[in-house]
Structure 1
Amino acid sequence: MTDADNRKAIYEVNKLQKRLRSKVGKAIADYNMIEQGDVVMAAISGGKDSFAMLDVLLSLQKSAPIDFKVIAVNLDQKQPGFPEHVLPEYFESLDIPYYIIDKDTYSVVKQKVPEGKTTCGLCSRLRRGTLYSFAEEIGATKIALGHHMDDIVETLFLNMFFGAKMKAMPPKLRADDGRNTVIRPLSYCREEDLVKFAEVREYPIIPCNLCGSQENLQRQNIKAMLNEWDKTSPGRVENIFKSIKNVSPSQLADNNLFDFVNLPIDRSAPRDEYDFSKEVVSSTNIDDSLIIDVSNV
């Protein structure tokens, strides 16, 4: 590699790091994810996303206008072949406080889920329950998870296609029992940036041998769909994410969000006038097939 190539590589890495810091910082600010005095429990799975989240949180911690603590926590689910030494050594190299929770959820999942069925649902519930309880034990006020924009959009489509619900994963969530708050600092980050960042930082990635080995998962199909959109329609995934931040209940169909049953008209209100003289219609923007002859109507 020439000096010019080396300088260009360093420039690209710095640009990527600044982009991720900026996106994480904006997400934190937009949703008030981290406040003065917070103890943030960063859940580290050993995957690229949680490593990157921890990396950026520690970086922001040094320059943030508020004081907060970051504690790394890994749940060792006792998967066969899991390299137990990797994460403790990594955390110690960063000189940060950390905990390793030993809980054999792997055996529970394998026992409860029939062969060939998706393990992700039960696995995530067991993992979430364990992390929630441990957060209270160590006095953590926020639980940080490494879900990114792609995860959120994928979840939206999974719920729509297979659950008939318009529901995703919010950047900030209060647990149903009100005892914990979950934050997703990577909500504005794209997975492709996190992949590049992980390669540059050379994180000690630990693959998941439980769900990672399952083929033909519906989430993988959704991921393939989003990847194709990135190639053919750049910006579409970002727009879909923005749409869940810009919801119009009156333009949907949920009676619990908007009172469609009782919609009285009020003609005493000022008329909503529209100045059609300001309309500029260009023939180049009109599809001739959509022109309807209304002369005989």
Structure 2
Amino acid sequence: MSEELAKQQKTRLNKLQKRLRRETGRAIEDFNMIEDGDKVMVCLSGGKDSFAMLDILMNLQKSAPISFDLVAVNLDQKQPGFPEHVLPEYLTQVGVPFHIVERDTYSVVKELVPEGKTTCALCSRLRRGTLYGFAEQIGANKIALGHHRDDILETFFLNMFYGGKLKSMPPKLVSDDGKNMVIRPLAYAREKDIAAYAEMRGFPIIPCNLCGSQDGLQRQVVKEMLQDWDKHHPGRIETMFRSLRHVVPSHLVDTELFDFKGLQRGFAHGISDPDNSFSAPAKEMPEMIDILSL
């Protein structure tokens, strides 16, 4: 490799890292994902996204104004051919505390899911339950997953097209039993940036042969649709993601989310607030300003 080419690649890597650091830091701040004294369990699958997430979080940890601990955790699901040595060697090399949790969920999935059916739902459910329980064992109060902006958009369209819901993958949530806090620090990061960063950093990627090789998955169909839009309509993906941050319940049709039956003339947006916080007549209400647009 020529000296000039090496210099160009280093410059590109630095730009990518700065962008991912900035987007990850902004997501952490916007959703208060990590606080002083947190112990964050970083779930490492061996894919590009989780490798990038761990790398960026370790980078941010060095300069963050707060103190927090990171511990990497991989769930070895006993898939045939899984290279068990790869992650321990990498994690030892980068110097982060880690655990390898061994659970034969592969056999359970193969036994319960009929041949030809998708395994993703059951596999993710078993994986989630195991990781949630392990987080409690090691005293981790936050669980970091490597889902990115594209995953969030894909989930939004999956729920719309196949589930009949306006629902996505939140950057931060509490588990159903209230015991675990899940965060997604890469919520603002683009998949293509993560892929480029992973390649340039040379992460030892481990493919998922259990579900990743299946054809015709609904998520893959949606992913290809979004990639096609991104290719032929630059900026559309950014606009769609921005819309998830600017929801207007009064202009949808969910009667549980907005009190359409209680609308009254003479009040701003038709809402009479008994607590007097929004009860002024429409003409006296100041114009609402979206601070995110300033």
TM-score in same-fold range (> 0.5) = yes
Asked whether the 8 Å contact 2:266–2:282 carries over to 1, the reply is: no
Query: How far apart are the structure 1 equivalents of 2:281 and 2:183?
Result: 43
Which residue does 2:118 correspond to in 1?
A: 118
Is the Cα–Cα contact under 8 Å of residues 44 and 50 in structure 2 kept in the other structure?
yes
Tell me what 1:35 maps to: 35
The CA deviation at 1:4 is 2.7
Alignment partner of 1:75 is 2:92: no
In the alignment, which residue of structure 1 is the partner of 2:157?
157
Output the CA distance in 2 between the equivalents of 1:210 and 1:177. 28
Find the residue that maps to 1:259 and give its secondary structure.
coil
Which letter maps to 1:246?
Answer: H
- Structure 1: where are the runs of 5+ without partners? 274-297
Code of the residue aligned with 2:165 in structure 1: it is K
In structure 1, distance between residues paired with 2:79 and 2:5: 42
After TM superposition, the structure 1 = structure 2 runs for residues 201-240 of structure 1, keeping only pairs within 5 Å, are 201-240=201-240
* Counterpart AA for 1:156: F
Q: How is 1:10-25 mapped onto 2 (pairs within 5 angstroms)?
A: 10-25=10-25
Q: Which moved more, 1:227-236 or 1:72-81?
A: 227-236
Partner of 1:269: 281
Which residue in the other structure is 1:132 paired with? 132
User: What amino acid is the match of 1:94?
Assistant: V
Q: Deviations over 1:106-163 (max 9, x none)?
A: 1111111111111101110110011111000000010000000001100000000000
| TM-score, normalisation: structure 2 | 0.90
Q: Map 1:37-76; keep pairs closer than 5 Å.
A: 37-76=37-76
How far residue 266 of structure 1 moved from its aligned partner, in angstroms, is 2.5
- Mapped partners of 2:125, 2:243: distance in 1: 27
Whether contact under 8 Å (2:24, 2:186) holds in the other structure is yes
Contact 2:146 2:186 in 1 (8 A): yes
Aligned-partner Cα distance in 1 for 2:160–2:102: 35
Report how far residue 223 of structure 1 moved. 0.7
Equivalent pair of 2:155/2:168 in contact (CA under 8 Å): yes
Per the TM alignment, residue 9 of structure 1 is displaced from its structure 2 partner at its CA by: 1.8
Q: For 1:269 and 1:35, locate their aligned partners in 2 and report how far apart those are by CA, in whole Å.
A: 41
CA distance in 2 between partners of 1:178 and 1:86 (Å): 34
Rg larger in 1 or in 2? Answer: 1
Q: Distance in 1 between matches of 2:151 and 2:196?
A: 17
User: Hey, which bits of structure 1, 4+ residues long, moved more than 2 A?
Assistant: 1-6, 266-273
Shift of 1:272: 8.1
Q: Does the 8 Å contact 2:42/2:70 carry over to 1?
A: yes
Q: Distance in 1 between matches of 2:58 and 2:65?
A: 14
Which amino acid in structure 2 is aligned with residue 244 of structure 1? L
Question: How far did 1:10 drift?
Answer: 1.3
- What SS does the aligned partner of 1:70 have? strand
Q: Distance in 1 between matches of 2:27 and 2:253?
A: 29
Superposed displacement of residue 265, structure 1? 1.7
More deviation, 5-14/36-45: 5-14
**Which amino acid letter does the alignment assign opposite residue 64 of structure 2?**
A
Residues 229/99 of structure 1: CA separation in 2 closer, same or farther (3 Å cut):
same
CA distance in 1, matches of 2:51, 2:283: 56
Residue number in structure 2 paired with 1:246: 246
Q: Offset of 1:239 from its aligned partner? A: 1.4
The percentage of aligned residue pairs carrying the same residue is 63
Of 13-22 and 264-273, the range deviating more from structure 2: 264-273
User: Quick one: which amino acid aligns to residue 48 of structure 1?
Assistant: K
Distance 1:215 1:5 in 2: 38
Distance 1:246 1:227 in 2: 23
TM-score by length of structure 1 reads 0.89
CA root-mean-square deviation: 1.4
How far residue 264 of structure 1 moved from its aligned partner, in angstroms, is 2.0
- The residue that corresponds to 1:173 in the other structure is 173
Unaligned runs of 5+ in 2: 268-279, 286-294
